């Protein structure tokens, strides 16, 4: 195994790539009594058109999420029940570009890990069980579509992106999931759930060699080819429309402001860009910023204001979101703050203080086993290691953050989605 020490945070990462292509990453935590394991595939809601063996296949929106629901079925019952009976807390999620199955436990780790690898790698469902799930997922879709949080987000993505599948809900629609069959689910599992397209990450009280031994014994030995995914025609950096609005049953307007950013697709450049974007957004709009203090003091922003810089399906997007009685005033202040940086730059003393504070937050996050394990698995799909954050974050310069703000926070590139009171 490869061993990488991070003395500044007193952590060690063990990694291995098996002959079948599976990436394994383990961060032992001998002083803790719990362990978190995640088995993830580089497959999510945006991976709808793909080629395997030269043949292009189109699948309905929501099929990755549908498959996640059905993967807990086994010949002997349900894997969730078995893991829970073993004292584990299991679950799963489907994102835009990743599906992950996981558990946390304080005992019987080896038994639980074997179960996780077995049920995820061997699908078992029938046409009848697939049909039964259709109604359950349909109800879930209905509840999601009735959520203001979902509507303000998905409408922003549709305002920003013309072609990318990130415009669509990961769960799909009632109409799209009506096209899913047991055979299409098996086909997608065969394409995307091969070890060569997956990663296993474990954080906690565990021996790394034990994880490698279990995975080597249970998973297929051969290395299958990875599918090639088509995310649609290339996007420019301008939105389709600058504003979208819908009325719903909300007590106050909700808004989300966003812009497309030219993404670094993999490796160290991707991790570096993520650091630059995250620090730039926090320097300009974070809780300690002049922007937030001013708007919160004027009661224009509520305390639930959030900022993010996210990657998915060959896209990267910056977000600002929250509640405001005057979303247009928020947008004006966003543009004014960015323009001020273009003219005057950032405050260097405050910037360095922010870098130290965010690094402290990241160190604290090492005790959040779930997020660390998910990040370890997810970063493997893009050829970098999230633990390198602790050696690379210090390399981000204030000038890079200023350039990020100047380039991406412009009136031409920003779009805003608003949910206003008044829906029935």
User: Would you please indicate which residues are annotated as catalytic (active-site) residues?
Assistant: 68
The four Cα atoms 357, 360, 366, 368 give a dihedral, to 10 degrees, of: -50
Q: How far are the Cα atoms of 15, 65, 68, 135, 383 from residue 93, in angstroms, in the given order?
A: 24, 8, 7, 19, 22
Residue 324, helix vs strand vs coil: coil
Containing 285, the helix (H) or strand (E) segment is helix 267-285
Which contacts of 298-303 are long-range, i.e. CB under 8 A and separated by 24 or more positions?
299/325, 300/324, 300/325, 300/326, 300/329, 300/330, 300/333, 301/330, 302/252
Residue 83, helix vs strand vs coil: helix
Q: In the numeric block, which tokens belong to residue 299?
A: 């009661």
What is the per-residue burial (b if ≥16 Cβ within 10 Å, else e) of 380-418? bbbebbbbbbbebbeebebebbbebbbbbbbeebbbbbb
Rounded CA-CA distance 416/157 in Å is 10
Q: How far are the Cα atoms of 149, 269, 386 from residue 264, in angstroms, in the given order?
A: 28, 6, 15
Largest distance between two CA atoms of the chain:
66
Closest CA to 187 of 70, 39, 57: 57
């Amino acid at each position: 195994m490869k061993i990488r020490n991070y003395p500044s945070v007193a952590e060690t990462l063990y990694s291995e790539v098996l002959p079948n292509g599976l990436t394994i990453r383990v961060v032992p935590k001998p002083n803790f009594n719990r362990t978190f394991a995640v088995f993830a595939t580089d497959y999510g809601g945006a991976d709808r058109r793909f080629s395997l063996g030269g043949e292009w296949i189109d699948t309905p929106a929501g099929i990755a999420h549908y498959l996640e629901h059905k993967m807990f079925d086994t010949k002997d019952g349900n894997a969730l029940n078995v893991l829970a009976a073993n004292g584990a807390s299991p679950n799963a999620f489907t994102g835009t570009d990743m599906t992950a199955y996981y558990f946390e436990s304080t005992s019987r780790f080896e038994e639980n890990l074997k179960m996780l690898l077995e049920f995820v790698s061997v699908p078992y469902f029938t046409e009848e069980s697939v049909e039964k799930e259709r109604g359950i997922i349909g109800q879930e879709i209905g509840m999601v579509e009735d959520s203001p949080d979902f509507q303000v987000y998905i409408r922003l993505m549709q305002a920003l992106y013309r072609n990318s599948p990130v415009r669509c809900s990961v769960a799909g629609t009632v109409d799209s999931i009506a096209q899913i069959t047991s055979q299409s689910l098996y086909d997608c599992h065969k394409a995307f759930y091969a070890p060569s397209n997956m990663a296993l990450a474990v954080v906690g009280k565990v021996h790394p060699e034990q994880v490698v031994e279990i995975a080597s014994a249970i998973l297929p030995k051969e290395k299958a080819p990875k599918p090639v995914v088509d995310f649609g025609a290339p996007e420019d950096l301008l939105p389709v429309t600058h504003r979208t609005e819908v009325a719903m049953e909300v007590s106050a307007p909700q808004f989300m402001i966003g812009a497309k950013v030219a993404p670094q697709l993999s490796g160290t450049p991707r991790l570096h860009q993520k650091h630059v974007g995250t620090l730039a957004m926090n320097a300009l709009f974070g809780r300690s910023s002049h922007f937030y203090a001013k708007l919160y003091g004027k009661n224009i922003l509520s305390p639930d204001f959030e900022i993010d810089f996210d990657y998915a399906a060959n896209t990267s997007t910056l977000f600002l979101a929250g509640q405001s009685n005057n979303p247009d005033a928020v947008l004006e202040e966003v543009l004014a703050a960015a323009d001020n940086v273009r003219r005057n730059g950032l405050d260097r003393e405050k910037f360095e203080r922010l870098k130290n504070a965010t690094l402290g937050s990241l160190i604290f996050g090492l005790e959040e086993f779930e997020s660390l394990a998910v990040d370890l698995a997810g970063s493997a799909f893009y050829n970098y290691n999230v633990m390198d954050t602790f050696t690379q974050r210090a390399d981000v310069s204030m000038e890079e953050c200023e350039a990020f703000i100047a380039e991406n926070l412009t009136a031409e590139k920003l779009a805003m989605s608003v949910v206003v009171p008044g829906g029935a």
